Structure 1
Amino acid sequence: MNKDDLFLFNDDAAEAEAEITAFGLTPWAVLVVDDDDSIHQITALVLKNFSFEQRPLQLLHATSARQAEQLIIQHDDIALAIIAVVMETQHAGLELVKTIRQQLKNRRMRLVLRTGQPGEAPEEHVIRDYDINDYKNKTEVTAIKLKTLLYAGLRSYRDICIIEHHRAGLEKIIGCTTSFLQCSSLREFASLILGQVAFLLGLEREQICCCAAINNAAYEGLMLDVIASNVVSNNTLPPEVLAKISQVQKDKVSYCGDDCFIGYFTTHKGNENFLYVSKGSRLEQTDHQLLSYFSHNIAIAYENIRLRELMRDSQRELSYILGEAIEKRSKETGSHVKRVANYSYLLAIKSGLAEYEAEVIKLASPLHDLGKIAIPDHILNKPGKHDEAEWAIMQQHAELGYQILQHSTNEILQMGAIIAQQHHEKWNGKGYPLGLSGHNIHIAGRITALADVFDALGSDRCYKKAWPLDDIIELIRRERGQHFDPTLADILLNNLDAFIAIRDAYPD
């Protein structure tokens, strides 16, 4: 707010400005609108030393409705306006009220009409038809009543601002909660927490000290799992932060102080949850309230995401166990399915698929040979080349795997059905069982086809020895655009070190 606008009708403006500076707090902006200079002078004199909640006044003055409108547009923090009815026209004040509420859409500002000619604007009519908060006759506005009017108006404005702040905060919390629901891993969740706390307080991430931690109450003492932090060094919280969290853990209640906020919540599983937040300035009561609600959401979201990860881990293990069981039946190593799963995930990510889609393919790809469970042992484990009849039976495993999985409602098993059926299709349309070609083959089928062949060629089988790496690379180059999706083949060849690292991490 421009200090040149202060006390324009006060001879001692410098003294008034010094008083405002001495308070060190943002003043309440009050607008006086009247075409009578003496009204401005008297109002400034009466309210010279006025303060509310240790905050002084900052008076703005306008002598016409037009000038008042300009000041309101320039200053969006005016708490109260005292407006004369009669100025440049008989109803200038009434028209100004309409402009403020209807055109400028300002509902926070408290409006008080003041008139010296009650007959021009009958009180009942004005109160009923105009969105004002009080109506006064100039003759009844004594110094005491003027101050009473100010206290009531500023208190009302303060409460409206608090309500709006809470509403905006709750909207942010709802937005944060929605973001949490979209997280697919604790890593995503942890990264999101820091940004959302900063967003909630209207700060940059660098302006806050924040950590979210979980303590398993099943153990004695404080054993923290810090899931998100920008104050951690070598996975260790600063001693002063740890000491404060320890005290909260002992007290079993959140701490709300000027220096920091520590939220404390427990879940039905017995976990204790903490959110520590501090910033360079004092935390206000509204900050504490918003952070308290937010902490509760963190606790719930953490538990849900952790449960989701546990379920996904269980699904992964079941996929591996099932895939390994098939591989063992065909006298092959169970590490094959783990390597294929990780190759498939890497190909999916490098080809631009979303993390979630890549993870589903990773979990489903170990089921690619599930149909081999129905292939007779003498054919499945034949050391030599299959004859035409045997090869026809062997090829049935793709469709059999699809039939076993196709009726599941689980998205991983549904993806497994697609992979089982299509991982022997070829880019040029000469594969089996459907003879699909190009992009008509599901991306998961194309990915697993390449991952499976890359690993199978490099592994010993009952009918062959492992190929040298150079020979495998040469075959993939030769079959690029024939057997394999050319884009996927290029990804593998251009990132060969990453694929070899996976092979070395899961040896036979």
Structure 2
Amino acid sequence: MDDDELVFASDELTENVLSKQAKWRILVVDDEQEIHQVTSLVMNDMVFDGHGISLEFASSAEEAKTILAADQEHDIAVAIVDVVMESPHAGLELVQWVRDELKNHTIRLILRTGQPGEAPEESVIRNYDINDYKNKTELTALRLKTSLYATLRSYRDIRIIERHRRGLEKIIDATSQFIECDTLSEFASTILDQISVILNIESSQIVCCAVVKEYTQKRSDLKVLAANQGATEHLAIDQTSLTATVDARIADALQSKRNIETEAYFVGYFTTKRGTESVLYVENATPLEAVQHHLLGVFTHNIAVAHENLKLRDVIKESQKELSYVIGEAVEMRSKETGSHVKRVAKISYLLAQKYGLTESEAELIKLASPLHDVGKVGIPDHILNKPGKHDVDESRIMQTHPTIGYEMLNKSDNPILQLGAHISHEHHERWDGKGYPRQLSGKNIHVAGRITAVADVFDALGSKRCYKGPWDEDEIVEYFMQEKGRRFEPELVDLLLADLPSFLDIRRQFPDQPD
């Protein structure tokens, strides 16, 4: 079998999390030098997502701790850890140290042992936050590579979500600065400054400009809001002398009415409800990455809405919603579900929150945070996440870790949307009767946003096609919620849902799934 076949799923829609020259860092922790040599021989020619493997070795758990403690950026993707080394449970203690003391939930951990009696497989998988467990006597070269491909994919997806999370924080901060602008000059300067912050590069390295095309009854005007074509200081906002190349690229975006994304440059296109067309052009000395294209796309939207806000003093909220959807849709794509699901869950949660009596700002916050409810699924292996049949006991235990993974990813931020997203992720699988997971919370001990999103998520999922089932009809959905009222779901929320069922069903018609 060709090694490339072990990738199992297309990676065409994923983003690079490494520079072009970098390799995936793999740490092998084992007290047998022969294991180091064999592992090196097996994995020496491995390539995943266009990058090779860089192996590092430790002969004891203590030596591994030194290496991992120095990895402040969590660049080590996978650690393959022997159970029995300087002590019978040295590997297990190392795993616990990584998760509990080092607080590294990004690295993927593979345990392997030549003495399975020292660490029975079922108890280890149940009690330790690991991603795979292998017996050395059964560990062929093919199985080792298969396990490594799966864990590398999970690591990559977690890093992508992390980058989107940090980008969301920067964009929200930029949005607040736009709102505080009192003049067009301040607005122009903020555009240029925040682009360098979002891309995490020096402003002097960027060629950028922001353009709006406004329509009146008699004519249309093209205005350059901000431009800095590689200059050390920003050009005046009335500057109209763009280079012929930049001008042509902007004209192309305006004519085609779409984003243009290349490694060399980015042209973001956005049009508002008022008919204003906005273009953000960014060119950098080094190639632009896919994640930067995503962030710049959202930022283009911000500029357009913020520009109208400067004139009309409207509140900018769309950018927060869109990037929440981007993160939610990234998870949905990986689990082979459509991005329409997260949009519907957001709309259903918003309507349910309003009917429940929450304030408009509380309902809006739930709408923005609810698309993040399943973000922790990026840490679940593909063969479990997309299994068409019922999960076995071990698979269910692993699947039930995704609420905690999502909470740990989002709870690090002080941003209110991500903070609420952390609660929703952690608690949307809890049950009103206390029989849910991961913490068996019950009743109103479950956060109200978690209770609302649980209803919205299940309501939409039941009416949707999944890898393990077809869509349910309306009567089946109603019967299910009546059965689970007071058990899985808060009774009042079920009553509100069923009392105005047509309004909730209409949301599905507004945001249908795309055909396969």
Normalising by the residue count of structure 2, what TM-score does the alignment of the two structures yield? 0.54
- Contact 1:218–1:270 at 8 Å: present in 2 too? no
Match of 2:33 in 1: 37
Aligned pairs (5 A) from 1:91-106: 91-106=89-104
- Contact 1:263–1:276 at 8 Å: present in 2 too? yes
Match of 2:310 in 1: 305
- Contact 1:222–1:246 at 8 Å: present in 2 too? no
- Deviation, structure 1 residue 219: 7.8
Residue type at the aligned position of 1:35:
D
Match of 2:49 in 1: 53
Identity of aligned residues (%): 51
Between the aligned partners of 1:101 and 1:135, the Cα distance in structure 2 is 16
Residue type at the aligned position of 1:161:
R
Aligned pairs (5 A) from 1:68-217: 68-75=64-71, 76-217=74-215
- Deviation, structure 1 residue 74: 2.1
Tell me the secondary structure at the aligned position of residue 64 of structure 2.
helix
Structure whose alpha-carbon radius of gyration is higher: 1
Between the aligned partners of 1:115 and 1:124, the Cα distance in structure 2 is 14
- Deviation, structure 1 residue 58: 0.5
- Deviation, structure 1 residue 69: 0.6
Tell me the secondary structure at the aligned position of residue 88 of structure 1.
coil
Between the aligned partners of 2:286 and 2:220, the Cα distance in structure 1 is 29
Residue type at the aligned position of 2:107:
M
Match of 2:292 in 1: 287
- Deviation, structure 1 residue 283: 1.0
- Contact 1:186–1:306 at 8 Å: present in 2 too? no
* C-alpha RMSD of the superposition: 1.8
Between the aligned partners of 1:285 and 1:77, the Cα distance in structure 2 is 19
Between the aligned partners of 2:219 and 2:33, the Cα distance in structure 1 is 71
- Deviation, structure 1 residue 255: 0.9
Aligned pairs (5 A) from 1:418-433: none
Between the aligned partners of 1:266 and 1:142, the Cα distance in structure 2 is 55
- Deviation, structure 1 residue 266: 1.1
Q: Tell me, which stretches of 5 or more residues in structure 1 are unaligned?
A: 1-22, 310-508
Between the aligned partners of 2:89 and 2:49, the Cα distance in structure 1 is 35
Match of 1:476 in 2: none
Between the two proteins, the alignment pairs up a number of residues equal to: 287
Distance 1:308 1:166, change over 3 A: closer
Aligned pairs (5 A) from 1:325-474: none
Between the aligned partners of 1:222 and 1:284, the Cα distance in structure 2 is 34
- Deviation, structure 1 residue 297: 1.1
Distance 1:267 1:116, change over 3 A: same
Distance 1:220 1:83, change over 3 A: farther
Between the aligned partners of 2:225 and 2:240, the Cα distance in structure 1 is 10
Match of 2:451 in 1: none
Alignment match of 1:277 (pick from 278, 282, 285): 282
- Deviation, structure 1 residue 199: 0.3
Residue type at the aligned position of 1:105:
K
Residue type at the aligned position of 2:213:
N
Between the aligned partners of 1:221 and 1:304, the Cα distance in structure 2 is 22
Which whole-Å deviations, capped at 9, do the CAs of 1:296-326 have from their partners, x for residues lacking one? 11111100102359xxxxxxxxxxxxxxxxx
Distance 1:52 1:308, change over 3 A: closer
Match of 1:400 in 2: none
Distance 1:184 1:24, change over 3 A: closer
Tell me the secondary structure at the aligned position of residue 192 of structure 2.
helix
Which whole-Å deviations, capped at 9, do the CAs of 1:41-76 have from their partners, x for residues lacking one? 000011111111121111000000000011112233
- Deviation, structure 1 residue 116: 0.7
Alignment match of 1:246 (pick from 246, 251, 256): 251
Aligned pairs (5 A) from 1:222-261: 223-231=221-229, 235-261=240-266
Between the aligned partners of 1:102 and 1:174, the Cα distance in structure 2 is 31
Match of 1:63 in 2: 59
Tell me the secondary structure at the aligned position of residue 32 of structure 1.
strand
Tell me the secondary structure at the aligned position of residue 270 of structure 1.
coil
Residue type at the aligned position of 1:39:
I
Identify which of structures 1 and 2 has the higher relative contact order when contacts are C-alpha pairs closer than 8 Å and 6+ apart.
2
Normalising by the residue count of structure 1, what TM-score does the alignment of the two structures yield? 0.55
Residue type at the aligned position of 1:106:
N
- Deviation, structure 1 residue 24: 5.6
- Deviation, structure 1 residue 29: 0.2
Which whole-Å deviations, capped at 9, do the CAs of 1:418-441 have from their partners, x for residues lacking one? xxxxxxxxxxxxxxxxxxxxxxxx
- Deviation, structure 1 residue 77: 0.7
- Contact 1:82–1:112 at 8 Å: present in 2 too? yes
- Deviation, structure 1 residue 222: 7.3
Distance 1:265 1:246, change over 3 A: same
